[in-house]
């Protein structure tokens, strides 16, 4: 299926690994001009992808990123707000409401809400100049299934989901679609790296990292598929929503979670 993305200009944040890397690659394969944003570049990005080194905790970074997209390709058609998760230097999961203090809450919202809000604010005027565009925000199933773990993270991701729905209502008449993809537990660096979520969970339940990934986590989260989500599966949903083939989809939330969420 032709996703009609050839020649379109896309910005992807958090593009050095995991979901963001898969999104940047897929957009490039579909013929889009891609500006990949991360603190450091990975050799896994295609050569034709333009990399912008930026720390999205810096309030000035979004303007610089958008300016680079204009310099390289003349504008912005697609924005994928994928960067998120633990702020730099933070390890999740983090259990208990009383564990994060004010500074922890502030950093979590800065990275997972304010950074994408600033990216959207910087991109919208350019999208309007080009007659429209597509914004895809990456939230999390933790926004929809609250619990005593990562309370601040879930709250920030729910706020991002709400902001996206409000934006879709305001800007759809002007040609800008805003949608959200909410992944469940995904086989990314967050889980697999030394000291990552798999090892933290393992220390809590008396299991090893590999067993947590393949057995313990899927069972605890009641994943109907019996496994964690692959980053490419999330990327495929994001790229479809960014495509003009999804021209009547706005204000929607696509969940890619292996059957974790059970609500109707």
Q: Supply the residues annotated as catalytic.
A: 153
Contact between 27 and 239 under an 8 Å Cβ cutoff? The reply is yes
Determine which helix (DSSP H) or strand (DSSP E) holds 22, and give its type and residue range.
Answer: helix 18-29
Count of CB atoms within 10 A of residue 152's CB?
21
Q: Which of 157, 179, 183 is nearest to 166 (CA)?
A: 179
The sign of the CA dihedral 59, 91, 198, 254 is negative
From CA 121, how far away is CA 228, in angstroms rounded?
Answer: 33
Please enumerate in sequence order all residues whose Cβ is within 8 A of that of 178, keeping only pairs 6 or more positions apart, or say none: 134, 135, 136, 137, 164, 165, 167, 168, 171, 172, 250, 251
For residue 4, the number of C-alpha atoms closer than 13 Å in the C-beta half-sphere is: 11
> Whole-angstrom Cα distance, residue 252 to residue 242?
12
Residue 118, C-beta contacts closer than 8 angstroms, at least 6 positions apart: 56, 59, 61, 62
Q: What's the rounded Cα separation, in Å, for the pair 84 and 47? A: 25
According to DSSP, residue 143 is labeled G
């Amino acid at each position: 299926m032709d996703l009609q993305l050839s020649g379109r200009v896309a910005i992807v944040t958090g593009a050095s690994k995991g979901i963001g890397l898969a999104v940047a690659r897929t957009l490039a394969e579909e013929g889009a001009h891609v500006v990949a944003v991360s603190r450091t570049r990975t050799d896994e990005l295609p050569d034709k992808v333009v990399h912008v080194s930026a720390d999205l905790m810096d309030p000035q970074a979004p303007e610089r990123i958008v300016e680079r997209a204009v310099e390289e390709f003349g504008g912005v058609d697609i924005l994928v707000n994928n960067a998120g998760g633990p702020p730099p230097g933070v390890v999740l999961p983090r259990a208990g409401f009383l564990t994060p203090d004010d500074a922890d809450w502030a950093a979590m919202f800065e990275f997972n809400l304010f950074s994408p809000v600033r990216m959207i604010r910087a991109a919208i005027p350019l999208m309007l100049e080009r007659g429209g565009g597509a914004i895809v925000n990456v939230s999390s199933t933790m926004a929809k299934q609250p619990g005593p773990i990562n309370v601040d993270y879930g709250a920030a991701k729910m706020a991002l989901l709400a902001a996206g729905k409000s934006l879709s209502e305001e800007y759809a008449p002007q040609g800008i679609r805003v949608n959200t993809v909410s992944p469940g537990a995904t086989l990314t660096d967050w889980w697999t790296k030394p000291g990552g979520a798999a090892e933290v969970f393992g220390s809590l339940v008396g299991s090893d990292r590999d067993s947590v990934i393949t057995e313990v986590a899927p069972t605890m989260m009641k994943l109907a598929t019996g496994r964690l989500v692959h980053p490419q599966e999330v990327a495929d949903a994001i790229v479809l929503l960014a495509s003009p083939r999804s021209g009547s989809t706005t204000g929607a939330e696509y969940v890619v979670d292996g059957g974790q969420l059970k609500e109707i």
